Amino acid sequence: MKPLAPTDPTSIGGHRLVARLGSGGMGDVYLGATRSGRLVAIKVIKPGLADEDGYRRRFAREVAIAQRVSGAFSADVIEADPDAAQPWLVTSYVAGPTLRQTVRAAGPLPEDTLRVLTLGLAEAVRAIHAAGLVHRDLKPANVLMAHDGPRVIDFGIARSNEAALATQDGSIVGTPGFMSPEQAYGHEITPASDVFSLGSVLCFAATGREPFGQAPAAAMLYRITTAEPDTEGMPPWLREIVTACMAKEPAARPTPDTLLQRLGAAPVPAQGSWLPDAAARLVAEQENEARSYLALPPRPEPRPEPKRRRRWPVIAGAAAAALLVGGAATAVALSGLPGRGGDSGDTDAPPAGAGAAAQGGGTAEQPAGLRPHEFPEPSLTAADFGEPITVQDSRAEPILSLAFRPDGERLLVGGTRMLEIWDVRLGERITDASTGIEGGWVASNVSWSADDRYVAYGDSDGIVHFLERDAPDGGTTSDAHARGVQVTNGIWDLAHDPTGAWLASVGDDLVIRIWDARTGEQLGSIDLSGSRPVVPALAWHPTEPWLATAQGRTAYVMDATVGGDVIAEIEHGGDTVNDVAVSPDGAVLATAGNDHVVNLWDIESGVQVGRLQGHSGPVHEIAFSPDGSLLVTSGGEVVDRSAIVWDLSRQEPLAELDAPGGLNASALAFSHEGALLVVGDREGGIYLWELAR
């Protein structure tokens, strides 16, 4: 929740606007108040978009569906005007975290909470089906945990029973981790599909894990159709229900009425709330924050002709897909930042009625609003960062990128006219792929997959090279075998996802591409080319299929699977973002900027949780230690040549790195187990700190 911007309207449909809940490519969601003072959520299509093909039609359909399911199990629809110059929808404001946020804050839910959640969701699904609809995207992020019970939200891709079929081109609509086998196959979608998804949601609530684990979309869809869900640690009564709901055959699943008959009445909460304490506190915080906006004085009138934000389009790759599951060809389309995929036409704006929004809180000028994050205490001291081991010095060619092999015994080095693999312990070069290079970047960036199977690098000619390990000493295959793919005039960054199956790249054409790391086939892309400055960096989330990037002063965390939801949109504050990194626990995004500052943000809420000030110039590179206790940062230019190791629990410098003859840091990397830190120098030095005890 954030204050209104000067360009925001002050009222919609006679309702006073008091704060901003969220924003996306299609619309904005505001916190508003009726004339009587009742809090409401108001979703408004952005200026000009209503005239674009399909937008008004999609919004009108969403309004009609929301009206059909309005009631005790979703946000009440108060009124709407899809025919207005800026179409809008007003619903009751529901304060409460999502189920995903609740489990992240409180862990797996206690048994009494699970029983109330199961009953509430079964009643909600029954009401949706009674309205003649199939939700098609029931997942933890679409369940609000309100003080009086759960609410199901986001009907942007819901369909009537008669029309609940896969799209004509065979593309999948839904979220892979929580969709049904028939969705994965591209078959007809019936109400039984929502029952399967209900079982998946309950499995997540009870265990804190997705029922089929974490994997790229293709692997996830295969598991859904062939594997059994992970129900370890689930109460026996709930395991029986989940197993029945998640039967592979739709006809074998119980109806919501059958589930309600099995469960009986909900237990009476022992302490007055059905929610665990952590979730109840979040509800109270959101309610109090929302009420506080009602007392704000009137704002100045908005400026004329508000600037319209660009909507970045998706370019679907041909390989995106052809996924063959049980003989049925199914399209897996990656959606673009910042919009939502599928045919809802919606974006990263949370549904009207949502009580939380992924927005940045705090700026470079207002550090007082920081909320603490529980970073672990480091096991290291400043003495651990004393004299480094010199692996290579005075090479005279800048080191641009570094990546460890998962076992920490090999180091991949990329730079100007350079691509090498080194034996870390011996300090000897094993592989040199840079012979005969006359100029330019051989490897502006490098990545070694966490499964130790694939290596990738990008060069100044705009080619993404896919290589496969072929020797025990860490060598790689030749480029002829490696499927080099030219996509632009220069590759700025690339990164393997945590599974090693995907590779993300970005170049000077401002297009993020997602690749199959094994074959070099493009799975999809996100076009950011309509806006400057450039996208500087990419970073994957450690457990979710989420990709962090930045555009100018704004950082984004997006879901790279089907749907392409924006998880967080955060304004760094002072200046352009140069690098992004995600903490090992997946909770925090770090943004490094030209304003000499590294800011830390809670990804789930968008609230600022840290601010590291110590550099005298722009910060260009950042990297978390694997245990999440440290962050290493570098300036790497004439103004600021330093590299600083930060204690995140205290948000203070632990050590400033130095090397014989000085250090002009340009590349940073921790080994996967955290025993080693390597820093590359603009003068060609490679310096290693051994941190394990």
Annotated catalytic sites, by residue?
Answer: 137
Q: Give CA separation, 586 vs 370, 592, 675, in Å.
A: 19, 17, 21
Q: Give CA separation, 49 vs 25, 27, 54, 156, in Å.
A: 9, 9, 9, 17
How many Å apart are CA 158 and CA 174, to the nearest integer?
Answer: 10
How many Å apart are CA 423 and CA 427, to the nearest integer?
Answer: 6
How many Å apart are CA 231 and CA 646, to the nearest integer?
Answer: 40
Q: What is the CA radius of gyration of the chain?
A: 26
How many Å apart are CA 301 and CA 7, to the nearest integer?
Answer: 8
How many Å apart are CA 561 and CA 297, to the nearest integer?
Answer: 43
- Edge-to-edge strands of the sheet including 27-33? 11-12, 15-23, 27-33, 39-45, 88-92, 77-81
Q: Which residues pair with 476 in a beta bridge?
A: 469
Report whether the peptide linkage leading into residue 584 is cis, meaning its omega lies within 30 degrees of zero: no
How many Å apart are CA 389 and CA 564, to the nearest integer?
Answer: 43
Helix axes 236-245, 191-207, angle to 10 degrees: 150
Q: Is 43 annotated as a binding residue?
A: yes
Give the up-direction half-sphere exposure of residue 161: CA atoms within 13 A in the CB hemisphere: 8
585, with CB counted inside 10 A (0-12, 13-18, 19+), is: middle
Question: In 208-305, which residue ranges form alpha helices assigned H by DSSP?
Answer: 217-226, 236-245, 256-263, 277-293
Would you state the structure tokens that stand for residue 227, as one six-digit string? 């594997």
Q: Which residues pair with 591 in a beta bridge?
A: 580, 599
Binding site for ATP: which residues? 43
